[in-house]
Structure 1
């Protein structure tokens, strides 16, 4: 253990076995965060997160889902203050793209930009990698898409994905039940079933927040509690065993 101590003080140094410990620590922070899920359907995209509200916390405020542009949203897992900074960066980038090219930015372009920004924090001494992973989801000129960025600066496109605590089991659950032809309603029900797979609280829906971007409207919308309740009634069609 002592042999590795000199290599985990900065993200600019590789260990003898080819590891960057600061990046690995940041990825571990993501794994300790509560679940975030993104699901792509033929009718749009779903972003859902598990949040554990305190007794007196205002319930209609979402801490882990953000709007970047009118057609793009972000769900985060890990150290949320880092997510807020990245989202502000993405908003500025999206608006700059609109002013420069007079067209809405593509989801992939935002994902690459955020991944590039994260990668920069692995190259300089005196900084630390971002301790958050992001699901960037939206509908653009090319259709529905979902990307995931992580602290290393990697970005990968998915049809359905989970990040955060217990994500390995939840991703296996998504692989089992996901269908590329599913409706947006079924995608929302699958997201609820996936979060409840690992959630401590399952009796109500207070621990779940959700947003969507439909193919028809191409506008980021938060899902209301009444709609969540309707989606949850169909979650049983995705058995956990």
Structure 2
């Protein structure tokens, strides 16, 4: 690709209307391991593929974060950038609670994070964030999932995958997703979707998951025992 110096800054368009630094950041996302979000009639599911090193502690999830009681984030790409954005989202969410005495809406957090990402495409001396994030939760309006990307775009989805191999996984989700999924079926679908591209089919060893149920509106990590239970239903989604 002949960028001819137009990729030296995110503030410059190339003659064919491209911002190379933003495109490079989006390419970084495509090289990250999978992250998936699925809405069900009973809540939302966030699932990620994590491949820990041999002696690494697996108790702490590296790619799923809690923003507020009712909102979580799953990230793909350059995870340090995700951590900074999640800290920003937490501060914003708590500020909303202090100002308005109510929990922030998922869409408001998604727009805020997209606005922050967009700022890094407008100034010299900075680089775009190399991460996409799935913002999922249950608020006053019900269950919702949004995806932000390095350009500052944010889009709402019923089910979505980001990261390496996401095109094939999204085609799989489009084929198998239904509006009336239970929370358990949504979790099983997410496991089947990750295993679509995994080296070890049908396993849960490299899968981490969190959920927010419509009833509790509380972010919860999914235990390994529950993952094992959900994975038994994943076979009905296997192509």
TM-score range (shorter-chain normalised) is over 0.9
Residues in 2 aligned to 1:79 and 1:221: alpha-carbon distance in whole angstroms? 24
Deviations 1:5-40 (A, max 9, x none): 320000000000000000000000000000000000
Deviations 1:141-194 (A, max 9, x none): 000000000000000000000000000000000000000101000000000000
Structure 1 runs, 4 residues or longer, greater than 6 Å off: none
Query: What TM-score, normalized to structure 2?
Result: 0.99
Give the 5 Å matches for 1:1-241: 1-2=1-2, 4-202=3-201, 204-240=203-239
Deviations 1:90-125 (A, max 9, x none): 000000000000000000000000000000000000
Residues in 1 aligned to 2:59 and 2:228: alpha-carbon distance in whole angstroms? 15
Deviations 1:173-225 (A, max 9, x none): 00000001010000000000000000123363120000000000000000000
1:136 CA displacement: 0.0
Q: 75-84 or 57-66: which moved more?
A: 57-66
Q: Determine helix, strand or coil for the equivalent of 2:192.
A: helix
What's the C-alpha RMSD, in Å, of the aligned pairs? 0.8
Whether contact under 8 Å (1:23, 1:152) holds in the other structure is: yes
Q: How many residues align?
A: 239
Q: Determine helix, strand or coil for the equivalent of 1:7.
A: coil
Q: Determine helix, strand or coil for the equivalent of 1:210.
A: strand
1:57 CA displacement: 1.1
Residues in 1 aligned to 2:199 and 2:67: alpha-carbon distance in whole angstroms? 30
Q: Determine helix, strand or coil for the equivalent of 1:77.
A: strand
Query: Gapped runs of 5+ residues in structure 2?
Result: none
Whether contact under 8 Å (1:185, 1:231) holds in the other structure is: yes
Whether contact under 8 Å (2:202, 2:231) holds in the other structure is: no
Q: 57-66 or 31-40: which moved more?
A: 57-66
